[in-house]
Amino acid sequence: MWNTQFPSYSSPDVELTVAASLAFQGSNVTLTYENGQEKSEESFAVLRSGANFTGVKTGEDFYNKFCNPNVTQTVAAAPAANTSAPLPKPAPTIQGYPFPIVRDSGANTTSGYFLNGTGYDNVAVLSVLAFSPAGNIGAVEYLSNFQSTVSSFLSQSKAAGKTRLVVDVSANGGGFVLAGFELFAQVCRYLHCLDWRELIFSQLFPDAPKFQADNLRLADSLVKISRITDSIPNNFTATTTAEKNAILALSNSAVVSNLIPGGIFSPEGTQFKTVDQILAPVSLKGDVFTAYQQAPLNSTDPQFNLTGVGSRANPPPAVFKPENVVILTDGTCGSTCTIFSYLMILQLNVTTTVIGGRPMTGPMQSIAGVEGAQVFPLDELSDAASAVIALSPQSEQAALKSSELGVLADGYALKRLTSPTFAGSVNGKNAFGAKDSQTPLQFLYQPANCRIFYTKEMLFNPDAVWKRTVDATWTDPAANCVEGSRVAVNGSMGLDPLFRMGVNAMGETLGGAGRIGGGGMGLMFLLVVMSSVLGLL
């Protein structure tokens, strides 16, 4: 939180919250510094661009114009992104960074560098500011270019004889889940890892560091969505517009794809065959959740394949070793960035160095952002609830509308969190480390192995930061790490025995209560598996 208050090379547009607060702090704001100096500034308001107060004379007018989702507003639609047009030619460098050896073709988030100078000429640096594009670029276009950019960087590193790697994820707040897995897949292949498909899915090496486990809270509405969707027969034919829209909403739902057999597996690789197996409750801290699950990432696709899959099945040989890789963060690594980082830290024992923080000694977290496994768009939550109500027997619809499911379908609160140009979302899945089935990652403290402070030069000179990272990681950690900040490398890659339980051992304690017919929709969701992993975090 401290680092996010100050501009740096990775986040040059940051402003102090106190300088741009959403809350009124009085007619004046006065800051008193430790040396006794005071600075006072008069408060003033700035209306957001596009805010139209025409007709707003009372608080009720304000509410109906800006806050009431049930009042239709006339808002100009944002122009649709042209995902088929070629990307514009990017500038030679990303703002604030030196000239790269390789960079992405317009996303402005991924670039690679070689360090120069005695003690640094064997070091390559990969900067990943986000796992998504900074502009309106289609998902497949971004992912394909991200993949080729990283691949080019690694091959050039090998050709140049680089033996050490700094992965800079400063200011990285996340993005496409698939991009995080792709980066791990590529780096892992270059780090002498097991085959990517074996690393994540195969049971050929039961003691190897392969792992993915998530779950969802068993809210009553989630259970109903799962069971009602599963009860729709495969031969169901929609006859009304409402039914057609409902089927379409369920088929495209990132939420539903986690709840129906066909596209998800247990952590040990067994495919879930029934809803009962998926909903088999896991009890944590007095609450209940779905069974631990993982989504398949080793399926081939005509548009995009992860490294190690399909057309990308045979990547080049290794370049770096795990002990010669360091992840550099500023503590803001979140969402997809945490997925990538935890894979590197917990499965490969890769070292982390963190920069900045409050003016105090001691360790600092390397991963401190949102650490969930997938976000669910709020409109999809509401649409899924509406869809299952519409597809339920007429005799049951009234009861469903009066339940929690009906509140979700009405979506009053959800609509207030969205806008015509931005669809709100919520983290909906816990992620777990291999050693602990009881504590989701967002509750874990993950300190960096070393901490360094910014100097004046380092704030806006990434080259200086990268060289200090090299010094603190390999050259002389004792002299370069902040006092008391050095923490031992993870060192253990054990597996919690509960994650080895097959789906048949998970129990089916929820039984068939609430079902309204024979299952069959699961096959439909094989077509939308990617929605579980392509979504933004």
Domain boundaries, the chain: 102-211+319-371+450-480, 214-293+374-431+498-534
Residues sharing a CB contact under 8 Å with residue 73, sequence separation 6 or more, in sequence order:
65, 420
| The pLDDT value given to residue 21 | 78
> Averaged over 273-300, what is the pLDDT?
85
Nearest alpha carbon to residue 95 among 460, 468, 464: 460
3-class DSSP assignment, residue 343: helix
Closest CA to 193 of 533, 493, 497, 502: 493
What is the predicted pLDDT for the residue at 187? Answer: 62
**pLDDT confidence of residue 179:** 72
The CATH homologous superfamily for domain 102-211+319-371+450-480 is: 2-enoyl-CoA Hydratase; Chain A, domain 1 (3.90.226.10)
How far lies 496's CA from each of 145, 213, 236, 501, 503, in Å?
37, 11, 42, 10, 16
* Confidence at 376, pLDDT banded by 50, 70, 90: confident
H/E element holding 452? strand 450-452
DSSP string covering 191-212:
TTPSPHHHHHT-SSSTTSS---
Residue 509: pLDDT band by 50, 70, 90 thresholds?
A: very low
- Cα separation values, 490 from 42, 201, 352, Å: 50, 23, 10
| Residue 384 · residue 521 · CB < 8 Å | no
Of 324, 343, 534, the C-alpha closest to 446 is 343
Q: Is the pTM of this model over 0.85?
A: no
3-state DSSP call for residue 165? strand
The pLDDT value recorded for residue 132 is: 84
Longest dimension (CA), the chain: 78
Cβ proximity of 441 and 342 under 8 Å: yes
Which of the residue ranges 228-242, 296-310, 411-425 would you say has the lowest mean pLDDT? 296-310
How many helices, marked H, and strands, marked E, lie in the chain? 16, 15
Question: How far is it, in rounded angstroms, from Cα 196 to Cα 210?
Answer: 9
The mean predicted confidence, pLDDT, of the chain is: 80
φ and ψ at residue 176, rounded to 5 degrees: -70, 130
Query: Residue 351: which of 241, 259, 487 has the closest Cα?
Result: 487
Q: What local confidence, expressed as pLDDT, does residue 140 receive?
A: 78
Question: Mean pLDDT lowest for which of 189-198, 249-258, 341-350?
Answer: 189-198
pLDDT at 17 over 80: no
Which of the residue ranges 39-48, 202-211, 388-397, 435-444 would you say has the lowest mean pLDDT?
A: 202-211
Task: Give alpha helix (H) positions in 232-326.
Answer: 241-251, 275-279
Q: Flag whether pLDDT at 280 surpasses 80.
A: yes
Distance in angstroms (rounded) separating the CA atoms of residues 43 and 32: 16
Structure tokens at 298: 């080793």
Give the pLDDT confidence of 141-186 residue by residue, as tens digits.
888 888 888 889 988 999 999 999 999 999 988 887 777 766 766 6
What is the Cα–Cα distance from 367 to 365, expressed in whole angstroms?
Answer: 6
Strand ranges (E), 12-119: 28-32, 38-42, 102-103, 110-114
- Interhelix angle 394-401/378-390, rounded to 10 degrees, is 140
Residue 90 has pLDDT above 60, yes or no: yes
Residue 110 phi, psi dihedral angles, 5° rounding: -130, 130
Q: Any idea what DSSP says for residue 292?
A: P
Average pLDDT over residues 100-106: 91
**pLDDT per residue as tens digits for the range 412-458:** 888 877 766 666 888 889 989 888 899 998 888 889 999 999 999 99
CB burial of 166-175 (b: ≥16 within 10 Å; e: otherwise) equals bbbbbbbbbb
Answer whether residue 300 shows pLDDT above 90.
no
Structure confidence at residue 209 (pLDDT): 43
Lowest mean pLDDT among 34-43, 65-74, 147-156, 426-435: 65-74
* SS3 at position 416: helix
Average pLDDT for 21-25:
80
Query: What single DSSP character describes residue 290?
Result: P
Give the closest residue to 502 by CA, choosing from 280, 218, 255, 256: 280
pLDDT value at 527 more than 70: no
